[in-house]
């Protein structure tokens, strides 16, 4: 399979709108147009031949369905021809607020797959790769990518060698929050924690509950980076698209040494990193007692 440069936010949007098959065809056609200095219109037979050359060995009926699904988004069609749309038109049509707030995302090389599961997993990986190390809940990823938590887990199994997932937990004193323990997330457990204060050993009933995972996507096949230079036109489009529905949307980041220090200053948007037992990091987001 061939590797093609792609915009990570468009990859996410193709997943979100279930347009991954026609999006991949559009990527292949744009790559062929640039590499062979072709015009931006093709006959259906030419497009089908290019798809086959790049490993997209669909039947003719599957191909026709994909062409119809992408009509008006990635290309226009008439009886015999397909007219590719520019990056600018596609980006402005599909971009949501999340894409609009990214000033100039770097392009990422992806591998073209015929299999729907592998193709969607590749798009999922490319978006995570563009974020570096990201801590994010499955619910938010479902909102951004349109992939259910179960679909995300399936894609992560396919990406086992290219994706590191770190599980994060928060520790709270169960005796201090006994009236609010019913608000804990589904996955939690309790244990006795030993404390040494004023030469006295005491044991505290502590509850640990799971927080959003941390994801680190790695290079696909070698040590070489999967980032590539973005075309100037694509950079210009992504930098000038401003269509936010919220005037201000950000996470406050604070540091506290102990888990009970954030109570007074924590608000709904707080995203707090704290430490326990000396070294291990804990992430806390949007849930407090």
Segment 23-41, tens digit of pLDDT: 999 999 999 998 888 888 8
Residues of the chain where predicted confidence (pLDDT) is lower than 70: 1, 103-104, 176-186, 220-225, 227-289
pLDDT digits (tens, 9 = 90+) for 212-261: 889 999 886 655 667 665 565 555 554 444 333 333 333 333 444 444 44
Residue 177 has a pLDDT of: 67
Residue 106 has a pLDDT of: 82
State the pTM of this model.
0.74
Judge contact between 3 and 111, C-beta under 8 A.
Answer: yes
CA distance linking residue 126 with residue 143, whole number of Å: 17
Judge contact between 107 and 3, C-beta under 8 A.
Answer: no
Judge contact between 86 and 222, C-beta under 8 A.
Answer: no
Cβ partners under 8 Å of residue 172, min gap 6: 206, 207, 209, 259, 289
Residue 192 has a pLDDT of: 82
CA distance linking residue 69 with residue 256, whole number of Å: 51
Residue 7: how many CB atoms within 10 A of its CB? 29
How far CA 202 is from CA of 205, 232, 260, in Å, comes to 10, 63, 17
Residue 237 has a pLDDT of: 54
Residue 183 has a pLDDT of: 65
CA distance linking residue 149 with residue 163, whole number of Å: 16
Per-residue burial over 116-136, b if 16 or more Cβ lie within 10 Å, else e, is eebbbbbbbbbbbbbeeebbe
Judge contact between 134 and 128, C-beta under 8 A.
Answer: yes
How far CA 122 is from CA of 19, 63, 90, 105, in Å, comes to 14, 20, 20, 17
Judge contact between 74 and 85, C-beta under 8 A.
Answer: yes
């Amino acid at each position: 399979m061939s590797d093609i440069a792609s915009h990570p936010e468009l990859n996410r949007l193709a997943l979100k709108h279930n347009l991954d098959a026609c999006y991949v065809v559009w990527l292949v056609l744009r790559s062929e147009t640039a590499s062979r200095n072709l015009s931006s219109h093709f006959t259906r037979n030419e497009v089908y031949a290019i798809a086959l050359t790049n490993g997209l060995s669909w039947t003719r009926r599957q191909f026709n369905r994909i062409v119809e699904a992408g009509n008006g988004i990635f290309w226009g069609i008439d009886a015999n021809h397909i007219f590719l749309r520019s990056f600018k038109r596609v980006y402005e049509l599909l971009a949501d607020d999340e894409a609009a707030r990214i000033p100039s995302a770097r392009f990422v090389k992806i591998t073209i797959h015929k299999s729907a599961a592998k193709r969607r997993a590749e798009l999922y990986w490319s978006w995570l790769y563009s974020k570096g190390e990201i801590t994010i809940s499955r619910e938010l990823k479902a909102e951004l990518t349109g992939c259910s938590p179960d679909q995300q887990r399936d894609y992560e199994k396919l990406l086992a060698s290219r994706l590191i997932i770190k599980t994060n937990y928060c520790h709270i004193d169960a005796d201090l929050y006994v009236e609010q323990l019913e608000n804990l997330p589904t996955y939690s457990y309790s244990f006795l924690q030993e404390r040494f204060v004023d030469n006295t050993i005491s044991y505290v009933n502590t509850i640990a509950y799971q927080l959003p995972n941390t994801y680190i996507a790695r290079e696909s096949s070698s040590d070489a980076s999967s980032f590539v230079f973005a075309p100037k036109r694509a950079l210009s489009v992504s930098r000038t698209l401003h269509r936010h529905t919220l005037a201000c949307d950000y996470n406050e980041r604070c540091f506290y040494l102990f888990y009970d220090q954030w109570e007074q200053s924590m608000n709904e948007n707080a995203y707090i990193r704290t430490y326990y037992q000396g070294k291990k990091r804990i992430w806390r987001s949007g849930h407090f007692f």
